[in-house]
Amino acid sequence: MSLDFSTAHESFEDATDGTIGLEEEFAILDPATLDMVPRFEELRDAAAAADPLLAGSVAGELISSEIEIRSGRGEDFAAALVAQRDHRRRLFALAAERGVALGATGTHPWADYREQRNIDTEHYRRVVEGLQYVARRNNTFSLHVHVGVRGADRAVQVCDRLRPVLPLLLAISANSPFVDGLDSGLHTARTQTFTKSFPRCGVPDAFGDWQGFKTYLDFLVRTNSIVEYTQVWWSIRPHLAFGTVEVRICDAQSSAAESEALAGLIAGAVLQAARDLDDGVPFVDPAPRLVEENMWRAIRHGLDGKLIDLERAEERPAAEAVERLLAWTAPTRGELGIEAALPELNGAQRQRRLLESGASISDVYAATVRETRETYAQEAIV
């Protein structure tokens, strides 16, 4: 994506609050061994030949053993879910026909990154050439949610207000305790692998307004740091083409219900931040180093640990912070009919409980793949 700021500004000025786009990433697996297999191009071409609707919703990511499906723009959350459920059903049916399985955790528990083949596109060739080991090491899977926000200044300021919320969203979504065949001791090894390695990644600075945001991007272009906006991998960012705030911090979710509940919570958070901004609700922007303390806690302990209440400078159980987040977003979610029925335990917690009960890492992953197949492959609900 090139950096045409005049067009980007217009995309926000013409945007509609509350449009939704969902993006879900899956590992492509051998159904017998659950090893990752490089068959994205095969699935893409099969979709193009047999299912044009699915073909328009699938996309490639860095490696050929990964596939993404996109809802496209929904005029509201319900519309985005209807589209995404249909795309999932079509994708899982195609995968079954082609003899592959799909996994939805933030990392693959044992795949060797050195054996993964990168897809051959201009963008990803540029990524691998520019980042080398950092890019090749990144075999991760995420959930991204786009929420329409009208106004360029407003979109930047919504991103600013959500900076301290991002660690909590990460803790809720944590679903990658295993990597390289090991128990990482973390709840989201994906974040450590990707967010802590890629440049221009993680929680961005607060920019204040569109001009501050544009000045920084102008600097990156002028200094030959980037040539396209997709080289900015922040955990939240204004999307220049779509007129949305894109939240990118979450691990992929093992069940469809979890993915939808988390997406609904994110949509509520973005829209509540926009409402607070419009209503003049006071906001004290925390220093980046304080947000980073909570980021580490979310990576290490997820919902089993404590997060810092930055206003009070005291530790509180992460589960309490979830309740506060649900309460804060309740007004906008209620108006829009968005439920956020989060499970009692998130993906990382369930995987850890299974491991502690005596299951092997391969057994735990097999259980998540079954859960993914049984929930994402269900018939679309209209």
pLDDT, tens digit, 9 for 90 and up, residues 275-299: 999 999 999 999 999 999 999 999 9
- Does residue 381 carry a pLDDT above 50? no
- Summarised one tens digit per residue, pLDDT across range 334-366 is 999 998 899 999 999 999 999 999 999 999 999
| 302-313 per-position pLDDT tens digit | 999 999 999 999
Is the residue at 308 inside a domain? Answer: yes
Tell me if 335 is assigned to some domain: yes
Has residue 142 been placed in a domain?
yes
Annotate the chain with three-state secondary structure.
CCCCHHHHHHHHHCCCCCCEEEEEEEEEECCCCCCECCCHHHHHHHHHHHCHHHHCCEEECCECCEEEEECCCECCHHHHHHHHHHHHHHHHHHHHHCCCEEECCCECCCCCHHHCCECCCHHHHHHHHHHCHHHHCCCECEEEEEEECCCHHHHHHHHHHHHHHHHHHHHHHCCECEECCEECCCCEHHHHHHCCCCCCEECCCCCCCHHHHHHHHHHHHHCCCCCCHHHCEECEEEECCCCEEEEEEEECCCCHHHHHHHHHHHHHHHHHHHHHHHHCCCCCCCCHHHHHHHHHHHHHHHHHCEEEECCCCEEEEHHHHHHHHHHHHHHHHHHHCCCCCCCCCCHHHHHHHHHHCCCCHHHHHHHHHHHHHHHHCCCCCC
> Average pLDDT for residues 217-245, to the nearest whole number?
94
The pLDDT of residue 305: 97
Q: Is the residue at 381 inside a domain?
A: no
- The pLDDT assigned to 295 comes to 98
The answer on pLDDT for 113 being more than 90 is yes
Residue 382 maps to a domain: no
**CATH number, residue 240:** 3.30.590.20
- Tell me if 117 is assigned to some domain: yes
Mean pLDDT over 63-89 rounds to: 97
How many structural domains does the chain have? 1
pLDDT class of 379 with cuts at 50, 70, 90:
low
Range of the domain at 55: 5-376
In a domain, 272, yes or no: yes
Segment 3-40, tens digit of pLDDT? 667 788 999 999 999 999 999 999 999 999 999 999 99
Per cent of the chain over pLDDT 70 is: 98
Report the chain's mean pLDDT, rounded to a whole number.
Answer: 95
